[in-house]
Each structure stands twice: as C-alpha cells, then as structure tokens.
Amino acid sequence: MNALTRIWHDGRRAERIAYAVGAALFTSGVVHAIVLIGSGGSWLGPLSMRKAVTFGLSFGLTLASVAWATSFLTVRPRLRTVLLGAFTTASVAEVVLVSMQAWRGVPSHFNFETPFDTAVSMSLAAGGGVLVLVVIGFTAAALVEPGPEAASLRLAVRAGLVVLLVALATGAVMIGRGVVAARGGDPQLAYTTAGSLKPLHAVAMHAILVLPALAWVLRFTRWPETHRLLVVKLAVAADAVLTAVIGVESFTGVPPFAAPLPVLALSVLAAAALAGTGIYALSGVEPPVRFTRIPIGKARGR
C-alpha cells in the first residue's frame, strides 16, 4: 500500500491531475454501468449506454496508466507536461462527447444527421488524432532517451507504448472505415466494418498498464535484474503474439472465439503465458519487513 501511495505523492503535478481525472472518468463508466443495468437497457447497438460505460472505464484506466508509465521516462519537464496535458484533455473530450450522445439517444460515431452531430463525430475523430500524436511523442522519447535505469522496466514501458500505438492506430482505421461507409449512405455498414476491429483495439489498449506493472512488481522481489528482464521479455513476447493473432483475426473478419482451433489455441497459450508471468512475479514478492519495538530497558539488557 505504501508503494501505491508513493506513486501519488511522488508524482509531478501533471501526473497527479491525470490520476485524478482518470479516476473520475473510470467512476463515470461505473455509474453508467449501474444506470444501464438498472434501466434494463440493451448492451448492443450504436445507441446503447454501453459506449458510455466502455469509454469511461477504458479511458480512465488508460489515462492513469499512461501518466504512470511515462513518469519513468527521461523527458524534459515542459514537454512531458504538454504531452500529458493533451492526452488528458483529449481523453476527457472523448468520454464526455460519447456519454452526451448516449444520453441523447443518438450514435456518437459516424453520425452526420445534423450539423451538431456532425461536429461531435468530427471532434471525436480529432480527439483520436491528438491521442495518436501524443503517444507517438512518448514512444519516440522512450526509444531515444535513456529511460529507466532498470532494463526490465525500460523494455516494459517501451513495449507498452508501442502496443498502445497499435491500439490507437487501429481506432483511427476504425474511424476512417466508418466515415467512408457512413458518407456513402450506409451507416449500418459503418458500424459493422468498424466493429470488426474492436477485439484488436481492446486487447492492445491496456498493454501500457500490464507490461510496466509487471516490471514494477518484479522490483519487489529478490531476483536479480537479469532474471527480471527475462520474465519481462517473456511477457512482451506473449503480448506480441496475442496482439498479432487478434489483429489477423480482426482484419480478416474472424471472431476470436470462432477462429480455427490452432489459431484459437495459440491465442489462449499466449494469454496464459502473459497471465503466468504476472502470477510468477507476484509469487516472488517479499512481504515488508516488520520491526518490533523493544523497550529501552530490555534493549540494554536490564
């Protein structure tokens, strides 16, 4: 618990703001989930309150993850503040606009029915562009700058940012496909073509949390850095295989659970290996040392 509270207290101002905003966005997702369940609404379709749930939960978690993972990078303070500030602002805009459209009962994406809806759809697309540019900036810094001293943490942050960039690029492709279909007069096709890439977008989105978190947990073990690096390399490889398999399935239109048995087995093995590295890391964490206070008299042998 002390290690977690230290993340907040040691964080820079921009990072603490991102943590707080991320918590608020995540809470928004939880509240919308309660509303959706309580109202008995549908979890399917472009008009579902589900989008407010998923955007709130996902962006809240991603924003906090990006703020924390990039705190290990050796980036100039002003540049870090600008990048993280832009990511925070864009995340808020995405969640607010999607939630607003959900409450209005209209689609948030690929909706060009009115000038206002068109402005919302284009703003969401622009916000996605900002997110991509920010992550490109952080990724470039991670690859060029020295970064964390521990090689395991350095690899985890770099890999997490690269996979996050894959997720955001996939989102950009989803928007591009959907806009073309919607502008062509077939909004249903827009949701269908964009929706086929959702598995890849979802799987790749949170590597920025999973991989750095694994490297961070490994710091609390007695294992040498060479061993910790080996565990992180295994996790990065497993995540890369899982992302690649889901990516091929998404772009070929094959649902993950309807894939051929060998492909399904490969994705299951990759996911199991990734989860296994986390369990292995947790098994090596040493409990904090507790010191027992001894009365002064007894300590002096009296």
Q: Print pLDDT tens along the chain (302 aa).
A: 566 677 777 778 999 999 999 999 999 999 999 999 998 888 887 778 999 999 999 999 999 999 999 999 888 889 999 999 999 999 999 999 999 999 999 988 878 889 999 999 899 989 999 999 999 999 999 988 877 788 999 999 999 999 999 999 998 888 887 777 777 766 666 666 666 788 898 899 989 999 999 999 999 999 999 999 999 999 999 999 999 999 999 888 888 888 899 999 999 999 999 999 999 999 999 876 554 554 555 444 44
Is 59 within 8 Å of 209 (Cβ atoms)? no
**How much is the pTM?**
0.86
**What is residue 258's DSSP assignment?**
G
**N- to C-terminal Cα separation, the chain:** 37
**What is residue 112's DSSP assignment?**
-
Q: In the chain, how long is the greatest CA-to-CA distance?
A: 91
pLDDT of residue 183: 73
Is 137 within 8 Å of 203 (Cβ atoms)? no
**HSE (CB half, 13 Å, CA atoms) of 59?**
28
Helix (H/G/I), strand (E/B), else coil: 285: strand
pLDDT of residue 300: 43
Task: Work out whether the CA dihedral 111, 116, 122, 126 comes out positive or negative.
Answer: negative
pLDDT of residue 236: 97
pLDDT of residue 277: 96
Q: How far is CA 100 from CA 110, 141, 162, in A?
A: 15, 35, 31
Helix (H/G/I), strand (E/B), else coil: 221: strand
Of 198, 197, 160, the residue nearest 71 (C-alpha): 160
pLDDT of residue 293: 55
Whole-angstrom Cα distance, residue 25 to residue 29? 6
In one-letter notation, the amino acid at residue 20 is A
Whole-angstrom Cα distance, residue 290 to residue 302? 24
Whole-angstrom Cα distance, residue 262 to residue 268? 10
Whole-angstrom Cα distance, residue 103 to residue 95? 12
